Structure formats: structure tokens, C-alpha cells
Amino acid sequence: MSTKQIKAYGTASAETPLNEMVIDRRVVQAHDVEFEVLYCGICHSDLHQIKNDFGGTLFPIVPGHEIVGRVTAVGDHVKNFKIGDLAGVGCIVDSCGHCEYCEDGIEQFCDEGVTFSFNSADKISGGHTFGGFSKTYVCNEKYVLKMPAFEDLASAAPLLCAGITVYSPLKHWGAGPGKKIGVLGIGGLGHMAIKIAKAMGAEVVVFTTSPSKVEDAKRLGADEAVLSSDAEAMAKYSRQLHFIIDTVSAKHDVNVYLNLLRHDGTVVLVGLPPEPLEIGAFNVVSGRRSFAGSNIGGIAETQEMLDFCFEHNITAESEIIPIDYVNTAFERLEKGDVKYRFVIDMASLQN
């Protein structure tokens, strides 16, 4: 297969910083869309992958799966994009296309496993996929999103992962008018959950371990914000919440939050703690409560989320950075020093 070389930013090992490199992208095929990358968000999973925290990272690696760009070329059989259109690519860039999950539009559960936008075996070109920290991206149009013309396009990039990660469970578990929703943790995921749940019409209560984030939660739209170390304040919410979205990626006691649920309520985990979480049997048996998980969303639902956020003027709280700041950004992200998402202005790579 024909390829061309383009500029990117990545690393050859877990021990070395990211730097400029040259990678191969496939030349546009019949069903492909190529776009110039304008902005790319930085997700905590990017950090995990470059550090090989989960094992199995494919080096050299070019991270980035919150990718926004403008179409520069389309294949002969492409129907839904033309040159000049805004486009987005999130986590998924390929799947089997024929299993029950793909046919139902929930490709994230594909029986044969999805191809991710970086650090996955590339079934088309061979080798492995390279992400959005690059000059261009090429993807089959089936997995390319139509990016609405957000006024702040850079801050819309994190919707492609953080946005869909919280939108999908909020929709699935029925967030809306008459529902009291808890959001556990205020970071890249949590701050998006507040905005989206409020736009859905739910009453939103935020739980945080950080005193400085109590007021910030209200600025973001939360109806109430609670310091989780305040036992008296926490007790007021016993058996009050219909649903809690748990965005915490560190070890924590979820039983505390199960006890805040009404009967038939659910705590849904979207964070990725590195250690197992213990569930007390009585905390789920009492009140017929559930502890569940959710993982991104399919392509159709991601498009629905983008259109919803555009309609409600929802974007991420973002710090826009040049590409040569990315190593510092990852260091800050590791310390939790960002409110609430870094986004790279990819014009800085061209320059």
C-alpha cells in the first residue's frame, strides 16, 4: 500500500520524552477521508499509553484521540465529506462491521475488537495506528465524525473522548428532568458530566475531595457541591440520588456512594482505577442497587453527542498549548494540574 511521510510528535520508548518524528500515513483509499489536524486534546489514557502503564504499548507511539481537523482529500467512494469540511476522529477508527454490536451501532463492544486511533494493530496499512499528534489523519469515512462549527473549536476537541465517555452513560441511565444525578470527581471527565447532565435537565450534585473545587463545581453548573470528607454533609444525601457517574481513576471506596442511591439506583464507573474496587454485598442488595461501568460510545452516538453539545453550547474547559509544551503538559496532567483539559494547537507542529 502506498504511504506518505508526515510530521508527528511521539516517542520511541516509555523512558524518553515526546519529540518531533516522521511517520507513514496511507495514501487516501476509496472510502477514506484525509484531514489536516487543527487541534488535538490530551487525555489521561494518552499518558498511560506513553508510560506503558497498562503494558503492551506499541513503540514508537504517537498519541492523541480527540482529533479535530479540516478535510484535505477524499476517496472516490466517499459520500458524506468534501474538501474543506470540518471533521473529527475519536477513539474508534475501525471495527469488524458485521457482528451484532457493530450492526447495532455500538462498535465499542465489537466481538473482534475495535481498532483505536492510536496504539492498535492497523488492519489496513499493517504495523500499528498513529494518533492525532500529527500533521494529518486518514480514516475510513464510516468512523469520521461531522464536526459542528463550534465557536471555540479547540475546546470542542475533548468532546471526542471525554464528552462521549460521560454522555453515553448519562443517556443510557436516563439522566433528565426529575432525576437527581451525582458526579464523583471533577476533572476532564467530571467537568463534562456536570455540563452535559445539566443540559439534559437533571439536578446535579458533585462530590469532590478538593475544597477548591467545591465552588468551581457550581461555576460549571452544579446545583450542589459536597466535600466528600465532610461526613455530616454526605449524610444529607443518603438514599437521595437516582444515578451517580464515578469518574475517579484512583482507588476509592465506592460503598460510600452506593449508600447515597435511591432504590434501583446505579453507580456507573467511567474512571479506570488501577486496583480492584471492593463492593459490600449489603450495599447493593439493600435497595436493589447496581454498580456498573461504561466505556466511550459508538460512532452514531458520538455524532449525536457532538450535535447535542453544539446545540447547548457545551465545550471543555481547556488550556490551549503549542506542541513543544506537550511534555510539560503530561507532567502537569500526572499531578492533576490542569483545569480541565489540555488541547494542542496543531498549527504549532506545522511551524
* 137-174: pLDDT as tens digits: 999 999 999 999 999 999 999 999 999 999 999 999 99
The pLDDT score that the predictor gives to residue 116 is 98
User: Using CA atoms, how far apart are residues 316 and 337, in angstroms rounded to an integer?
Assistant: 16
Beta bridge partners of 268: 245, 292
- Alpha helices (runs of H) in 56-207, residue ranges in sequence order: 100-103, 153-156, 162-172, 188-199
pLDDT at 54: 85
pLDDT single digits (tens) 231-260: 999 999 999 999 999 999 889 999 999 999
Would you state the pLDDT for residue 350?
82
pLDDT greater than 80 at residue 351: no
Q: What is the pLDDT of residues 49-79, one digit of tens each?
A: 999 988 899 999 999 999 999 999 999 999 9
CA angle 129, 134, 64 (to 5 degrees): 60
Q: How far is the C-alpha of 144 from the C-alpha of 117, rounded, in Å? A: 11
**Half-sphere exposure of 182 toward its Cβ, with a 13 Å CA cutoff?**
32
Q: What is the pLDDT of residue 274?
A: 81
DSSP states along 38-63: EEEEE-HHHHHHHTTTTS---SSB--
123 has a pLDDT exceeding 80:
yes
Mean pLDDT for all residues in the chain:
96
The single-letter code of the amino acid at 51 is: K
The least confident of 71-80, 91-100, 269-278, 321-330 is 269-278
Q: Residue 26: enclosing H or E segment and its boundaries?
A: strand 19-26
The share of the chain scoring above pLDDT 70, in percent, equals: 100
Q: Angle 50-56-61 (CA atoms, 0-180°, nearest 5)?
A: 35
Q: How far apart are CA 85 and CA 72, in angstroms?
A: 8
Residue 180 phi, psi (nearest 5) = -105, 110
**Residue 164, helix vs strand vs coil:** helix
Alpha-carbon distance of 337 to 197, in angstroms, equals 24
How high is the pLDDT of residue 257? Answer: 97
**Among the listed ranges 30-34, 92-96, 246-250, which one has the minimum average pLDDT value?**
246-250
pLDDT for 217: 96
Give the whole-angstrom CA distance, residue 197 versus residue 323. 32
Grid coordinates in use for 345? 494547537
Q: Read off φ and ψ for residue 254, nearest 5 degrees.
A: -75, -15
What residues does 343 pair with on adjacent strands? 41, 320
The structure's pTM equals: 0.96
Q: Is the pLDDT of residue 342 over 90?
A: yes
pLDDT tier for residue 315 given thresholds of 50, 70 and 90: very high
How many other C-beta atoms are found inside a 10 Å radius of the C-beta of residue 280? 13
Give me 197's grid cell: 447532565
Residue 235's pLDDT is: 95
Q: Binning pLDDT at 50, 70 and 90, where does residue 1 land?
A: confident
